[in-house]
Amino acid sequence: MAEARIIDGKAFADGLRARIAEEVASLQAEHGLTPGLAVVLVGDDPASQVYVRNKGEQTLAVGMHSVTHRLAADTRQEDLIALVEQLNADPAIHGVLVQLPLPAHLDPAVVIAALDPDKDVDGLSVISAGRLASGLPGLTSCTPLGCMMLLRDALGDLTGKNAVVIGRSNLMGKPMAQLLLQADCTVTIAHSRSRDLPAICRQADIVVAAVGRAEMVKGDWIKPGAAVIDVGITRFPARDPQAAAAGKTRLVGDVAFDEAKAVAGWITPVPGGVGPMTIACLLQNTLTAAKRRSGLA
């Protein structure tokens, strides 16, 4: 059997951002509407700083309004919530994202609950989860949304397919399973207590691995021809000792890529698969939120 086709998430994300930029330009020209995204970063976690900078740059690159609020690590919860409420009320802002993780003294559940659900572009609030589970219009967590776009692009109609999602987090596994269910898949959610995970996976036309355990999913877990979406990211020191000594890392997914590629029909690589979709979907959610706010969607 031929090797799996590689699902190129970077190319898809580039195309998605280009389509978003076109739509932003026509919203501005026809309705005077510029979608706006506000990102709030508390503290100086180096990884979060990189993510927040990338989000700001990509927001501007598609022609949207971008605001970044950088708050001190010792910011009080009431001050953070006051900022969220100010952004909720700001008509130039259609999406608000509070970068996680927050410093330990801040409760992310309380902060996320303060977000206007119609601006919750990370899809993390209880109301967003409830809307998704109830099939109501809402905003969906960006990474699962990106996985769905890649699956639809590769497979077309997903009706009737057996899908196995490994992982049940609120951020990833649960919304992924809901989206697959909405697409008329038969969905199994597996987790750390599931029995005989290899046998569960072998039933699947679609496997979405969202665990965070490097190369856990082996080639012989995959049904021939299945689509494999690898969400997991584990960082290891770079292979080159000099690069490793300089602190460089390499990313490894949850799927043993070479083995799985020999069996699967489609597979996402790590890096270059799901990862690039996340910020592109954040922009998509901001566009959706702006259009809904203005009665255009």
Q: How far is the CB of 169 from ligand NAP (least distance, A)?
A: 3
| Phi, psi of 227, deg, nearest 5 | -95, 130
Beta bridge partners of 209: 166, 230
DSSP secondary structure letters along 236-295: EE-SSHHHHHTT-EEEE-SB-HHHHHTT-SEE--TTTSSTTHHHHHHHHHHHHHHHHHTT
Looking at residue 119, the DSSP 8-state letter turns out to be: G
Q: How far is Cα of residue 151 from the mean position of the Cα atoms in its chain?
A: 14
Nearer to ligand NAP, 71 or 133 (CB): 133
- Choose, from 116, 118, 120, 122, the residue flagged as catalytic: 122
The set of residues, in sequence order, having a beta carbon less than 8 Å from that of 136 and lying 6+ positions away, is 130
DSSP secondary structure letters along 5-64: EE--HHHHHHHHHHHHHHHHHHHHHHH----EEEEEEES--HHHHHHHHHHHHHHHHTT-
Stated as kind and residue range, the H or E segment containing 154 is helix 142-155
Interaction site with ligand NAP (CB under 6 A): 143, 166-169, 171-173, 190-194, 197, 210-213, 231-233, 274-275, 278
Closest CA to 150 of 61, 281, 54: 281
Nearer to ligand NAP, 54 or 86 (CB): 54
- Choose, from 55, 119, 161, 261, the residue flagged as catalytic: 55
Nearer to ligand NAP, 193 or 239 (CB): 193
For 214, counting Cβ atoms within 10 Å of its Cβ (0-12 exposed, 13-18 middle, 19+ buried), the class is middle
Residue 255 in contact with residue 217, Cβ under 8 Å?
A: yes
Q: How far is the CB of 158 from ligand NAP (least distance, A)?
A: 20
Q: How far is the CB of 243 from ligand NAP (least distance, A)?
A: 21
Task: Tell me if residue 99 is catalytic.
Answer: yes
Q: How far is the CB of 50 from ligand NAP (least distance, A)?
A: 13
Task: Tell me if residue 55 is catalytic.
Answer: yes
Closest CA to 4 of 273, 277, 233, 278: 273
Cα gap 250→275, rounded to integer Å: 13
Q: How far is the CB of 76 from ligand NAP (least distance, A)?
A: 27
Q: How far is the CB of 31 from ligand NAP (least distance, A)?
A: 31
Nearer to ligand NAP, 17 or 293 (CB): 17
- Choose, from 99, 116, 118, 284, the residue flagged as catalytic: 99
Active site residues: 55, 99, 122
